[in-house]
Amino acid sequence: MEASPTPDGAPPDGQAAPAARIRRLRLAALCLALSVLGVGYAVLISDFYHLTEPTESVFRERQADARAPLDIYLEVLAVEPARQAIEVRLDFATQSDSGAPRFPGLPGTDILVEVNDGGDVQEIALQAGQPAISKTLSLSVDGPFENYPLDRYDGTLRIRAIEGKDAAGGVSVPLRLRTWENIASWEVAMSPRYAAAGDKGLSLHVRAQRPSAQILFAFVVFAGMILLAASALTIGGLVFLGARKIEAALTGALGAMIFAVPMLRNVLPGAPPLGVRADAFVFLWVQIGVILGLALFVAAWARRGPPP
């Protein structure tokens, strides 16, 4: 014989202990979830407020002579993962009377600047006595774009300058390269790669990767997608099995989830084109799960829904 509840609505003595244990487990799970969210928030805030200030880096040739160098100012303009390229702008300067670099440069002789990214060589001709105008170049880098948001791109940049208009047999011009690596939504770092003895010019290793705040945001969005799919399957599955009653309002909620998932996909930082690994592992199956949840709910409504 089942125990009847007490007059005040409390569960019988035999069921009080299990009910209290379930409440404690739920409270512990809630506290754990809030703690994880709090730690994630603290990490994110710490990352924002402990960013290193971008600085101007200067690279010089190890074997340069005592002549005044040709100053080159390199600024990263954009990182293009789909093209596996980094767009940079080069400005040229010569020494002024005060010793500071003068932009734009006024070279005393014709100078041919070679920029090599490991795939092709691009030449920039500077004419004697003429202002050296800025030059925008696209440099090739290597990296698995499919690994978004954990993708990283590496490349090698070699720059050398030769007097005259022909690279063959010309006298090398000493270089001093100044780089500015600050660019929105990317962490770009350059480090020297010293050439072998006798080689002229500057060689740099270039690396571009997404900041940790963007990576965390992307994973939070993916987690939100998975939660939507789990919610849709729970609603549709329980109604289809008859464990919960049919409520017509849930049809609109499930339909909205179908359109919410692509919207979440599109607000990812630096949202990549469709086809990255995250789409195959998360987005595709989340969308299928939400649609299946709606289909189960509609099937249950068609079979057991209230008549007109």
Residues 137 and 225 in one domain: no
Distances in whole angstroms, Cα of residue 34 to Cα of each of 37, 46, 47, 257: 5, 18, 20, 24
Residues 61 and 147 in one domain: yes
φ/ψ of residue 140, rounded to 5: -80, 140
φ/ψ of residue 189, rounded to 5: -130, 140
Distance between alpha carbon 18 and the CA centroid of its chain, in Å?
A: 47
258 burial via Cβ count (<10 Å: 0-12, 13-18, 19+): middle
Q: How does pLDDT run across 183-212, given as a tens digit for each residue? A: 878 889 898 887 665 567 889 999 999 988
287 and 258 Cβ atoms separated by less than 8 Å? yes
Question: What's the pTM?
Answer: 0.79
Instruction: Note the maximum CA span of the chain.
Output: 106
Q: Out of 209, 233, 265, pick the residue that ends a domain.
A: 209
What DSSP state is assigned to residue 142? B
Q: Which two tokens stand for residue 18?
A: 């299990």
Residue 299: partners with Cβ closer than 8 Å, 6 or more residues away: 240
Domain range enclosing 174:
56-209
Please give the pLDDT value at position 226: 95
Please give the pLDDT value at position 229: 96
Q: How many domains does the chain have?
A: 2
- Which region holds residue 124: left if phi is over 0, alpha if psi is between -120 and 50, else beta? beta
Q: Out of 182, 209, 236, pick the residue that ends a domain.
A: 209
Encode the chain (308 residues) as per-residue pLDDT tens digits: 455 555 555 556 566 778 888 888 999 999 998 998 888 788 777 766 665 666 778 888 876 666 778 889 999 999 999 889 999 999 998 876 666 677 777 788 888 999 998 888 899 999 888 888 889 999 999 998 899 999 999 999 999 899 887 767 678 888 889 888 778 788 898 988 876 655 678 899 999 999 888 888 899 899 999 999 999 999 999 999 999 899 888 989 999 999 999 999 999 988 888 889 999 999 999 999 999 999 999 999 998 877 77
